[in-house]
C-alpha cells in the first residue's frame, strides 16, 4: 500500500515574528512581514506525528534571556498557551501520545519544543544534529543549545535521503537541504484535501517560488536554490500543494484542520 492517507492535519499556531522581506529572500524589499511560526500535528493510524515544535515555552516568559539578541531583532511575540504541548492539549490530545516527531531543521523557532516529547521517536536529516550543536560562527545565534541538550538521550533517527516514514506512502520526508545542512519538508497525503507538502524553511515566503532565491543566512545558497526548485516542480506538476510554514498568506488561506 503506497498511496495510503493520514487521517488529519492540524496546524498549530506558535509565535509571531517580524522580518524584512529582504531578510527572508535575497533581492526582497524592505517591507516588514509579520510571519507565523506554526507546528503541524498529524493523526495517522500508527500514532500522532508532529512536524516541528515551535519555540521553547520560556520564550513566552523571558524571550531575551532565552533567545539573546534575536528576540528583539525578530520581535518575537509568544503567549504561554502557544507552546506546542499546550496547543496539542487544546485540540484534545495528550502530548505524551505523540509517537513521532519530524523536525524540518533545528533553528530556534522549530526546535524549541523538542524536550516536551521524551518518549517520541525523532526523525531528522543526517548532518543537522551535529551542525546544530556546533554551527558556523555566523549561524550560532539561530541554534539554542538549551533546546537540544535535554534531548541527547532521545530516540533520534537520522535519514540520509527521502524517507517513507510509515512505509505506506502517506508521510514522506523529502530531503530539501540548503537552508541548513539537514533541512527537510514533509509530504502528507490526505483523503479529502489531497497531497500537501509542509515546506519547513526550505521556502520562507511564496515569492521565492518565483525568484528561486534563498536567504542570506542559508547554509548553502546553491543547494537551497535547488531545493526551492524541487518544491516548485512538485507544485507545477500538480503532485501536491505547498504549505510554506512562515508565509502569512498560507497561514491565512489554508484551513487549519484538513482531512
Residues binding Zn ion (CB under 5 A): 107, 201
Report the nearest approach of Zn ion to the CB of residue 10 (Å): 22
Closer by beta carbon to Zn ion, 186 or else 258: 186
Report the nearest approach of Zn ion to the CB of residue 107 (Å): 4
Q: In 29-60, which positions are buried (b, 16+ CB within 10 angstroms) versus exposed (e)? A: eeeebebbbbbbbbbbeeebbbbbbbbbbbbb
Helix ranges, the chain (H): 21-24, 63-67, 70-73, 84-90, 128-133, 145-148, 208-211, 221-236, 248-253
Q: Residues near 236 by Cβ (< 8 Å), separated by ≥ 6?
A: none
Report the nearest approach of Zn ion to the CB of residue 236 (Å): 24
The closest alpha carbon to 147, from 89, 107, 179, belongs to 107
Report the nearest approach of Zn ion to the CB of residue 6 (Å): 24
Neighbouring-strand partners of residue 114? none
Closer by beta carbon to Zn ion, 190 or else 207: 207
Owner of C-alpha cell 506525528: 49
Q: 9: which DSSP letter?
A: E
Closer by beta carbon to Zn ion, 196 or else 224: 224
Closer by beta carbon to Zn ion, 201 or else 247: 201
Report the nearest approach of Zn ion to the CB of residue 179 (Å): 6
Closer by beta carbon to Zn ion, 201 or else 250: 201
Amino acid at each position: 500500500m503506497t498511496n495510503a492517507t493520514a487521517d488529519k492535519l492540524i496546524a498549530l499556531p506558535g509565535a509571531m515574528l517580524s522580518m524584512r522581506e529582504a531578510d527572508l529572500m535575497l533581492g526582497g524589499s524592505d517591507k516588514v512581514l509579520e510571519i507565523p511560526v506554526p507546528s503541524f500535528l498529524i493523526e495517522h493510524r500508527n500514532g500522532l506525528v508532529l512536524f516541528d515544535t515551535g519555540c521553547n515555552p520560556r520564550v513566552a516568559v523571558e524571550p531575551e534571556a532565552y533567545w539573546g539578541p534575536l528576540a528583539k531583532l525578530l520581535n518575537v511575540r509568544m503567549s504561554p498557551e502557544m507552546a506546542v504541548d499546550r496547543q496539542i492539549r487544546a485540540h484534545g490530545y495528550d502530548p505524551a501520545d505523540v509517537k513521532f516527531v519530524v523536525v524540518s531543521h533545528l533553528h530556534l523557532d522549530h526546535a524549541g519544543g523538542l524536550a516536551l516529547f521524551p518518549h517520541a521517536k525523532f526523525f531528522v536529516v543526517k548532518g543537522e544534529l551535529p551542525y546544530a550543536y556546533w554551527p558556523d560562527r555566523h549561524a550560532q545565534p539561530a541554534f539554542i543549545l538549551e533546546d537540544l541538550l535535554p534531548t541527547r538521550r532521545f530516540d533520534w533517527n537520522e535519514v540520509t535521503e527521502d524517507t517513507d516514514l510509515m512505509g505506506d506512502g502517506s508521510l514522506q520526508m523529502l530531503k530539501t537541504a540548503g537552508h541548513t545542512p539537514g533541512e527537510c519538508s514533509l509530504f502528507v497525503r490526505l483523503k479529502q484535501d489531497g497531497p500537501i507538502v509542509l515546506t519547513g524553511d526550505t521556502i520562507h515566503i511564496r515569492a521565492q517560488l518565483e525568484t528561486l532565491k534563498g536567504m542570506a543566512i542559508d547554509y548553502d545558497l546553491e543547494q537551497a536554490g535547488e531545493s526551492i526548485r524541487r518544491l516548485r516542480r512538485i507544485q507545477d506538476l500538480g503532485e501536491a500543494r505547498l504549505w510554506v510554514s512562515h508565509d502569512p498568506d498560507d497561514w491565512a488561506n489554508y484551513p487549519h484542520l484538513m482531512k
